[in-house]
């Protein structure tokens, strides 16, 4: 493993000199909120009222900031800075409802569980109930095709193994009906492909950053937006080369949009996928590990953090350069990241225990605060790896927010520049024996520990603690970095995996499509 010196610009802002800007932004924000609170309380004289985001900001009684004052007993704690009416938690608190594929226009949720219009529309017309050819899967999924093509398509659609065809069409007969305020009443945006494309063109696209599960997600989007997008990969044979979906200039929809200045239909992607397994480069992680955990190196002069498992991963600066590039090649508004699947003690071989299980908690070792590293025992197994994960993701969130702030101040003269947002999508565990499963679960079951999937929830917990506000009155710690806890719908779909394994997710079952639907809603409505 190389240990060449790291020249990572993101490590620099963590020095005290770099934090002033963030501190000023935070305190300015706090002052604004304080003044706002004080003036409203003075005007209304009602201290029990809390700030609550307007259901229709600026339409019914919204004030100048787009917030409404609503009695505190109305609806749970909605954090300041998260507008709108269908939070990730509410979306995820729904259920899978069986709706035969021929009664639905596509794999996505309607917002109204009792809406029968598709049944009415189709007058009971009945589609085939057996899969006879792999192409049938598109019919069952109600997809015309997928822009991201090749033979690969049949793996992503889970149709590659004939001996599993008896899973279909049932696996595509389920619709996610979200919970809370997302259902009925227009709380959750209805999926309309033209509206989605308009938002991607006019409001800015998405850069997806993550491992092969994010690759699954990207593929599914290429089907949802087909034939209005065309797929291209950067000119390189590398597995991690950037892949993008561009607007299909011949699509009849293409003439109906208002294109931002510098948008070029040929070169401005709507959605891109950059493979990055760990969110940091190997060199970054080796350097940070030495800094945070000298105890490993004191005990063992030949200690190595990484083993020999292959991994594709680069520095945050490298993918933020893509994200924040010029509109002609990068008109992105949102970056969606996810990681955990490669954070194993197999890749991080230095954390593997030579005896005992990596999953077992470390024996409690008495420690006194005055200890130097020579006395500290390295903490091995997942307990230790998760400590390190947390340390580097705290640095990641700070670094990303600082870079967004720096970029926003550079761009403050250009009025049309979108406010960039970074969304961290929760990581989802797989299901044991998934190819024998024929129905969704109605409640989440404990994860069976294959490939150390039983550890994934701990990575998600770290993101929750890091990115979610602890109370409704506290500003979010990283204003433009959000956590989307969307893993429940997928956790309820043991029947929704690809043919080759039980972690990757099939396109068309509604899980990946639901992520896309929710992210679109979140970016354009919740935090607009
Ligand atoms: C849901 O759909 C049903 C049937 O179309 C309709 O009667 C009902 O008003 C709808 N509910 C909401 C909240 O839109
Ligand atoms: C682009 O759109 C046109 C018109 O709908 C269609 O004929 C063509 O097949 C599309 N191209 C791709 C690559 O999907
Ligand atoms: C868009 O990009 C292509 C490829 O680089 C270029 O040939 C074309 O001139 C550009 N169009 C405009 C309007 O700038
Ligand atoms: C020291 O680290 C190397 C490389 O990680 C490892 O192979 C070796 O077993 C370690 N030695 C001890 C005594 O832990
Ligand atoms: C794929 C992987 O990382 N498997 C490991 C999960 O945890 C067990 C128990 O520690 C290991 O033996 C596996 O190698």
Q: Is 222 in the pocket of ligand 2 (CB under 6 A)?
A: no
Q: How far is the CA of 67 from the centre of ligand 1 (A)?
A: 28
Residues 34 and 161 in one domain: no
Instruction: Give yes or no for residue 185 CB within 6 A of ligand 1.
Output: yes
Among protein residues, the one with the nearest Cα to ligand 3's atom 10 is: 264
- Ligand whose nearest atom lies closest to the CA of 182: 1
Indicate the number of domains in the chain: 2
Does pLDDT of 358 surpass 50?
A: yes
Query: What is the rounded distance in angstroms from the CA atom of residue 465 to the CA atom of residue 460?
Result: 9
Examine residue 398 and state whether it is found in any structural domain, yes or no: yes
Question: For residue 293, what are the domain limits?
Answer: 154-172+189-526
Does 136 map to a domain?
no
Residue 109's pLDDT band (cuts 50, 70, 90): confident
Q: Which long-range contacts (CB under 8 A, 24 or more apart) does 47-54 make?
A: 48/72, 50/472, 50/473, 51/80, 51/472, 51/473, 52/78, 53/78, 53/82, 53/83, 53/84, 54/83
Ligand 1 centroid to residue 184 C-alpha, Å: 7
> Prior bond to 425 cis, omega within 30?
no
Give 450 Cα–ligand 5 centroid separation in angstroms.
8
**Looking at residue 150, what is its pLDDT?**
67
What's the chain's average pLDDT?
A: 81
pLDDT > 90: percent of the chain: 63
The closest residue, in CA terms, to atom 3 on ligand 4 is 303
Query: Are 20 and 168 within one domain?
Result: no
Instruction: Quick: pLDDT tens for 394-437.
Output: 999 999 999 999 998 887 665 556 789 999 999 999 999 999 99
User: In angstroms, what CA-CA distances link 133 with 102, 139, 168, 174, 227?
Assistant: 17, 11, 11, 21, 22
Q: Is residue 140 assigned to a domain?
A: no
- Cβ-proximal residues to 512 (8 Å cutoff; 6+ apart), any chain: 216, 217, 219, 220, 221, 505
Roughly how many angstroms between the first and final C-alpha of the chain, as a whole number? 43
198-234 burial string, b = 16+ CB within 10 Å, else e? bbbbbbbbbbbbbbebbbbbbbbbbbbbbebbbbbee
Q: Is residue 148 in a domain?
A: no
Q: What's the confidence (pLDDT) of residue 183?
A: 83
Does the C-beta of 464 come closer than 6 Å to ligand 3?
A: no
**Using a 6 Å cutoff on CB, does residue 358 contact ligand 5?**
yes
Which atom of ligand 1 is least distant from the CA of 112?
A: 1
Assigned token pair, 149: 């093509």
97 in a structural domain: no
Query: Does 232 sit in the ligand 2 pocket, CB within 6 Å?
Result: no
User: What is the average per-residue pLDDT within 143-165?
Assistant: 89
Q: Which residues neighbour 205 within 8 Å (Cβ) at sequence distance 6 or greater? A: 268, 269, 270, 271, 272, 331, 332, 333, 334
**Cβ of residue 247 lying under 6 Å from some atom of ligand 2:** no
In this prediction, residue 451 carries a pLDDT of 84
pLDDT tier for residue 277 given thresholds of 50, 70 and 90: very high
Q: Are 396 and 515 in the same domain?
A: yes
Q: What pLDDT is attached to residue 187?
A: 86
Give CA–CA dist 399/422, Å, rounded.
12
* Domain match, 158 and 292 both: yes
75 assigned to some structural domain: no
- Residue 196 CA to ligand 4 center (angstroms) comes to 52
What pLDDT is recorded for position 130? 92
Give 394 Cα–ligand 4 centroid separation in angstroms: 28
- Ligand 1 centroid to Cα of residue 115, in Å, is 6
State phi, psi for 230 to the nearest 5 degrees: -120, 145
Are residues 162 and 281 part of one domain?
yes
Q: What is the mean pLDDT of residues 74-100?
A: 71
118 alpha carbon, closest ligand: 1
pLDDT of residue 372: 65
Q: What is the pLDDT of residues 37-55, one digit of tens each?
A: 333 333 232 222 222 222 2
Mean pLDDT in residue range 18-23: 41
Predicted local confidence at residue 369, as pLDDT: 53
- Ligand 5: atom nearest CA of 353 is 10
Listed in sequence order, the residues at least 6 apart from 527 whose beta carbon sits closer than 8 Å to its beta carbon are 81, 82, 83, 84, 421, 482
Atom nearest to 350 CA in ligand 4: 5
The arithmetic mean of pLDDT across residues 497-507, rounded, is 96
Which amino acids bring their CB within 6 angstroms of ligand 4?
300, 302-304, 350
Q: Is residue 324 domain-resident?
A: yes
- Quote the tokens at residue 303: 């200690």
Q: What is the pLDDT of residues 211-263, one digit of tens each?
A: 999 999 999 999 999 999 999 999 888 889 999 999 999 999 999 999 999 99
Instruction: Return the higher-pLDDT residue of 276 and 153.
Output: 276
- Note the pLDDT tens digit of each residue in 297-355: 998 999 999 999 999 999 999 999 999 999 899 999 999 999 999 999 999 999 999 98
Q: What is the CATH number of the domain that holds 388?
A: 3.40.50.1110
Over the stretch 363-379, which tens digit does the pLDDT of each residue have? 655 455 555 666 788 99
In terms of pTM, does the model score above 0.85? no
**Contact criterion met (CB below 8 Å) for 153 and 138:** no
- Nearest protein Cα to ligand 4, atom 4: 303
* Angle, helices 381-411/316-323, rounded to nearest 10 degrees: 40
Instruction: Say whether both 460 and 334 belong to one domain.
Output: yes
Same-domain status, 35 and 168:
no
What separation in Å is there between the alpha carbon of 493 and the centre of ligand 5?
24
Cβ-contact 160, 499 below 8 angstroms: yes
């Amino acid at each position: 493993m190389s240990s060449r010196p790291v020249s990572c610009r993101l490590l620099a802002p963590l020095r005290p000199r770099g934090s002033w800007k963030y501190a000023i932004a935070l305190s300015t924000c706090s002052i604004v909120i304080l003044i706002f609170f004080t003036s409203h309380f003075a005007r209304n004289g009602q201290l029990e009222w809390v700030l609550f985001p307007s259901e229709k900001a600026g339409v019914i009684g919204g004030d100048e900031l787009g917030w409404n004052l609503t009695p505190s007993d109305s609806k749970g704690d909605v954090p300041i800075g998260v507008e709108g009416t269908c939070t990730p938690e509410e979306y995820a608190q729904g259920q899978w409802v069986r709706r035969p594929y021929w009664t639905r226009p596509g794999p996505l949720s309607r917002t109204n569980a009792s809406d029968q219009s598709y049944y009415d529309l189709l007058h009971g017309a009945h589609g085939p109930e057996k899969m006879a050819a792999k192409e049938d899967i598109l019919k069952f999924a109600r997809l015309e095709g997928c822009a991201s093509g090749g033979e690969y398509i049949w793996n992503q659609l889970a149709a590659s193994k004939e001996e599993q065809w008896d899973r279909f069409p049932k696996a595509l007969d389920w619709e996610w009906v979200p919970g809370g305020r997302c259902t009925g009443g227009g709380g959750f945006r209805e999926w309309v492909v033209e509206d989605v494309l308009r938002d991607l063109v006019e409001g800015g696209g998405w850069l997806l950053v993550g491992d092969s599960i994010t690759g699954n997600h990207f593929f599914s989007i290429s089907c949802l937006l087909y034939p209005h997008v065309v797929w291209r990969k950067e000119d390189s044979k590398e597995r991690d080369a950037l892949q993008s979906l561009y607007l299909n200039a011949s699509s009849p929809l293409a003439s109906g949009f208002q294109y931002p200045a510098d948008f070029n239909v040929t070169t401005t992607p709507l959605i891109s996928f950059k493979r990055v397994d760990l969110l940091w480069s190997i060199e970054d992680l080796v350097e940070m590990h030495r800094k945070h955990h000298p105890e490993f190196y004191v005990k063992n002069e030949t200690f190595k953090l990484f083993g020999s498992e292959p991994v594709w991963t680069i520095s945050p600066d490298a993918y933020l350069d893509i994200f924040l590039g010029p509109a002609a090649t990068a008109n992105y508004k949102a970056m969606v990241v996810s990681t955990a699947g490669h954070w194993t003690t197999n890749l991080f071989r230095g954390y593997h225990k030579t005896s005992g299980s990596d999953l077992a908690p470390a024996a409690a070792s008495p420690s006194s605060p005055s200890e130097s590293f020579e006395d500290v025992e390295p903490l091995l197994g997942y307990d230790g790896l998760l400590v390190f994960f947390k340390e580097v993701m705290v640095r990641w969130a700070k670094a990303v927010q600082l870079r967004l702030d720096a970029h926003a101040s550079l761009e403050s003269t250009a009025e049309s520049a979108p406010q960039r947002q970074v969304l961290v999508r929760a990581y989802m565990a797989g299901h044991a024996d998934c190819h024998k499963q024929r129905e969704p679960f109605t409640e989440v079951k404990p994860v069976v520990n294959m490939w150390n999937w039983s550890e994934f929830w701990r990575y998600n917990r770290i993101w929750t603690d890091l990115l979610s506000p602890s109370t409704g009155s506290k500003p979010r710690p990283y204003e433009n970095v959000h956590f989307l806890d969307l893993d429940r719908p997928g956790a309820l779909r043991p029947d929704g995996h690809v043919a080759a394994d039980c972690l990757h997710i099939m396109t068309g079952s509604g899980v990946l499509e639901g992520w896309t639907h929710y992210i679109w809603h979140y970016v354009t409505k919740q935090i607009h």
